[in-house]
């Protein structure tokens, strides 16, 4: 359900195995230096943003990720 505070961004857990996804992301960074990690993260973010395809949702996620008090993960 969408409300005025959360907008269109889905905030409930929708991954069946979130720990596995977390570990896959950590593993994907293995053996990368800091610059390579930043480049990898940027590419991954752009790929996922394109997949989401909803500018309002992406902008809401940016705000939430930047400010944990607005619903981002800490």
- The pLDDT score that the predictor gives to residue 69 is 78
pTM value?
A: 0.77
18-74: pLDDT as tens digits: 999 999 999 999 999 999 999 999 999 999 999 999 999 999 999 999 987 766 555
Count Cα neighbours of 66 within 13 Å in the Cβ-side half-sphere. 6
d(CA 72, CA 50): 20
User: Domain boundaries in the chain?
Assistant: 18-70
d(CA 55, CA 53): 6
The crossing angle, in degrees rounded to 10, of helices 34-52 and 55-66 is 140
- End-to-end Cα separation, the chain, in angstroms: 23
């Amino acid at each position: 359900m969408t409300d005025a505070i959360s907008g269109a961004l889905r905030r409930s857990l929708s991954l069946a195995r979130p720990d596995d996804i977390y570990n896959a992301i950590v593993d994907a960074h293995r053996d990368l230096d800091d610059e390579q990690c930043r480049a990898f993260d940027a590419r991954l973010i752009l790929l996922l943003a394109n997949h989401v395809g909803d500018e309002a949702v992406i902008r809401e996620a940016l705000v939430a990720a930047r400010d944990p008090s607005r619903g981002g993960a800490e």
